[in-house]
Amino acid sequence: MTTGSIELASARVSARYGRRVDVVQWHRIEAPRTLAGVLDAVRTTPLDGWVSGLAPSSDAHAIDRRMRAGWREVVHEVARWMPGRWQPAVAWWATLPDLPLAAALASGAEVPRWLRQDPHYRALLEPAHARAHPLTALRASGTDMGAAWLAEWNRRAPRDASGWVDRLVALVAEHLRTFRALAPGDGTHARRTLQPRVVMLMRHAPATPAAVLAYLVLALGEGERLRGELMRRAAFPAIALAP
């Protein structure tokens, strides 16, 4: 992995943040009644890369695979912009979407059939590759995936004397705890509550590792929101959406 700098990473995430999808673009994404319409709308926005390879015929499993892959691509790109000592810690954020699956497998749940269709997860079933897979360490830690994820983050992350990184990680951990206890329809409100707090932290700590990680939190929120729009059309194509 190439080595960057805090200055490079900060400049690039600031530029990306400035080009984020605005309210008008989100309305255009949310308006179509079909998956094809949503995909067409997304491809005119900075979120285009998230839907690379998806088609109007893509099913829910294909969408989920692409969303997880899109998130990993975002994280690894940002990690490459960072100094070498920060790269392992930033790259660890790519595992966030793996936590529910890790918890299920750690509890002894049967391996789902869709896992075998996902190249990223299929390696878990191959002894030659499973040991190096990041999900293996999480599975071995028990069922408290949040605590396991934070422990590995603390092992990887350089000490941040400013305290901004610790504040951001605590904010995300609080959100994840709250999110797990929410009713199915309350996720949107929780994400919208988190976003301004992350933006405020990003503005108070410019040109720092915390600002770079704050951008990742915002990008993950965008990805989750987009996934919801795609999944609604793919999973329930015959049900009209509320106007």
pLDDT at 86: 95
Does residue 242 lie in a domain region? no
The winner for highest mean pLDDT among 1-15, 67-81, 104-118, 183-197 is 67-81
What's the structural domain count of the chain?
1
- CA diameter of the chain: 54
Compute the radius of gyration of the chain from its Cα atoms. Answer: 18
pLDDT at 139: 67
- Alpha carbon distance 238, 35 (integer Å): 11
Strand ranges in the chain using DSSP code E only, listed in sequence order: none
Does residue 243 lie in a domain region? no
Helix (H, G, I), strand (E, B) or coil at 70: helix
pLDDT at 13: 94
DSSP 77-112: HHHHHS-GGGHHHHHHGGGGGGHHHHHHHHTTPPPP
| Dihedral, 208, 191, 58, 48 alpha carbons, nearest 10 | -40
pLDDT at 216: 95
pLDDT at 24: 96
Helix (H, G, I), strand (E, B) or coil at 20: coil
- Alpha carbon distance 213, 220 (integer Å): 11
Does residue 105 lie in a domain region? yes
Task: State yes or no: pLDDT of 128 exceeds 70.
Answer: no
- Alpha carbon distance 169, 175 (integer Å): 10
Determine the Cα angle at 150 with ends 196 and 138, to 5°. Answer: 125
Range with the poorest average pLDDT among 31-35, 57-61, 84-88, 103-107: 103-107
Q: What's the distance, CA 11 to chain centroid?
A: 21
The string of pLDDT tens digits covering residues 166-219 is 899 888 888 777 766 666 666 677 777 888 899 999 999 988 999 999 999 999
Does residue 195 lie in a domain region? yes
Range with the poorest average pLDDT among 58-62, 95-99, 106-110, 194-198: 106-110
Does residue 240 lie in a domain region? no
Task: State yes or no: pLDDT of 93 exceeds 90.
Answer: yes
Does residue 1 lie in a domain region? no
More confident residue, 129 or 93: 93
Residues with Cβ < 8 Å from 139, sequence gap 6 or more? Answer: 102, 105, 106
pLDDT at 37: 95
- Alpha carbon distance 214, 120 (integer Å): 25
Q: What's the distance, CA 8 to chain centroid?
A: 22
pLDDT band with cut points at 50, 70 and 90 for residue 142: low
Q: How far are the Cα atoms of 6, 17, 98, 162, 197 from residue 11, in angstroms, in the given order?
A: 8, 10, 29, 19, 21
More confident residue, 123 or 194: 194
Which residue in this structure is represented by tokens 């400049």? 11
Question: pTM for the full model?
Answer: 0.87
Q: Residue 189 is part of which domain span? A: 6-235
| Dihedral, 232, 233, 238, 239 alpha carbons, nearest 10 | 40
- Alpha carbon distance 162, 184 (integer Å): 37
Does residue 99 lie in a domain region? yes
pLDDT at 127: 66
Does residue 89 lie in a domain region? yes
